[in-house]
Copies of this chain bind each other. A is one copy, B any other.
Amino acid sequence: MDKMMDLWLASGIYNLQAGQLVMLVVGLGLLYLAIVKKFEPLLLVPIGFGGILANIPEAGLAFSAVENALHFAQPEVLDALSAALGISSSDPEVILKAYNTSNASTHAAVSLAAMDGGYSNGMLYNFYNVSIASGAAPLIIFMGVGAMTDFGPLLANPKTLFLGAAAQFGIFATVLGAVGLSTLGIMDFSIQDAAAIGIIGGADGPTAIYVASILSPHLLGAIAVAAYSYMALVPLIQPPIMRALTTEAERKITMVQLRQISKTEKILFPIMLLLLVALLLPDAAPLLGMFCFGNLLRECSVVDRLSDTAQNALINIVTIFLGLSVGSKLSADKFLDLTTLGILVLGIIAFCIGTAMGVLMAKLLNKIEGGNSINPLIGSAGVSAVPMAARVSNKLGLEANPQNFLLMHAMGPNVAGVIGSAVAAGVMIKFVG
């Protein structure tokens, strides 16, 4: 009967902690939103499922070999870890603290000691290291997004880039909000944390994950979940703000049809953007470099098989592992925290401010030009959230005037928002990275 007891003592139900139960429910909730409500399912299905896996008691799928060794706390293994760390205590918490503050070579030694003790990295921990900690997955997804992006509407009306710029104000205002909360003692965010939280306002998943993985990996789970959830909520969040800031007359403005763009312009644009990044902001080079590379594969029309793969097999494969890896950051000990609540609140504020600033910038452009060439409804598309935000602009345009098709016009600021938030990401990595 010992064995029966062993099984029971090692079972999930016996070891289930309250936090894990909560996170299992959160994971199920994300699956519900993704599958039933169709909230960004391509990411939220893997994230939600990864979150459930990460919170299976005793399985340790989201933990490193060292964390797993500390969890099971066999005396001889703890001694080996202490020895590798050069400390005398064999209290798991002391060891963990010493481990977290030790340098890279000690890290490697402690990790090998844990493996000698028979523990191994969890599956999700490995996925996270290979896909996100290496920086590779968000960049590869950005390449795929580039290969799916048509810069035609932007090229036909370049001044919509200003709308994409203005909408990034949400990012920086949120940074200020986060440091404000810290200064008031309500939260405890470093400037790096604040910057990573702000990027939620960029409404761009891979950018948010990339920045968070560099500046603030411990907040990555909450930031990614917030970013994708709010992107899915665009059709609910944006319309009230857009209506509040525009008059009926403004919403009825029809825009002139976009000119046709030549192949040459479409090929030259990503190269030009890359060179501008190279000359002005090298820290944005990985993100925008891969984005431009993907777009060039698409437009140059001599490597269609590479473009196809970047848009399909490759981005799908990476999305699966990126999502599961983000889910690994939803383990109860890392996610259930007042901080997460702060991130969710700040993130939605960032979104709202970004939306508002895009609309206001469109009105300002009309003022400056002294005309009515821009329907301010397309300003909100400057936050990115491609193509959802552009569809929202189109929908509100049609409500005001059933002949007013804004979709293609809104695609300009929409893709401009992707560039804008990647630039903002580069600035933040430069200053606080």
- The reply to whether the CB of A95 lies closer than 8 angstroms to some CB of chain B is no
- The reply to whether the CB of A85 lies closer than 8 angstroms to some CB of chain B is no
* B45 lies within 8 A of A306 (CB): yes
Least distance between A134 CB and chain B CB atoms (Å): 6
A146 to B52, CA, bound (A): 17
Q: How many copies does the complex hold?
A: 3
- The reply to whether the CB of A356 lies closer than 8 angstroms to some CB of chain B is no
Q: Which of A7-15, A238-246, A338-346 contacts B (4 or more CB under 8 A)?
A: A7-15
**Total residues of chain A contacting the partner, CB 8 A:** 79
B-side contacts of A31, CB under 8 Å? 271, 296, 300
* A35 lies within 8 A of B112 (CB): no
* A297 lies within 8 A of B28 (CB): no
B-side contacts of A279, CB under 8 Å? 11-13, 16
* B126 lies within 8 A of A56 (CB): no
- The reply to whether the CB of A70 lies closer than 8 angstroms to some CB of chain B is no
For residues 37 through 93 of chain A, which have their beta carbon under 8 Å from a beta carbon of chain B?
38, 41-42, 45-46, 49, 52-53, 55-59, 61
- The reply to whether the CB of A233 lies closer than 8 angstroms to some CB of chain B is no
For residue A313, which residue of chain B has the nearest CB?
B313
- The reply to whether the CB of A336 lies closer than 8 angstroms to some CB of chain B is no
Residue in B6, B55, B303 whose beta carbon sits within 8 Å of that of A45 in the complex:
B303
A-B pairs with lowest CB-CB distance, top 7: A309-B316, A59-B282, A41-B302, A104-B112, A313-B313, A56-B278, A59-B285
Q: List 28 A-B contacts (CB under 8 A).
A: A7-B427, A12-B279, A13-B280, A16-B279, A24-B275, A28-B271, A31-B296, A34-B302, A35-B300, A35-B302, A41-B302, A42-B306, A45-B296, A46-B293, A52-B278, A53-B285, A57-B282, A59-B278, A61-B286, A103-B116, A105-B109, A123-B139, A126-B136, A293-B324, A305-B312, A305-B316, A308-B316, A313-B314
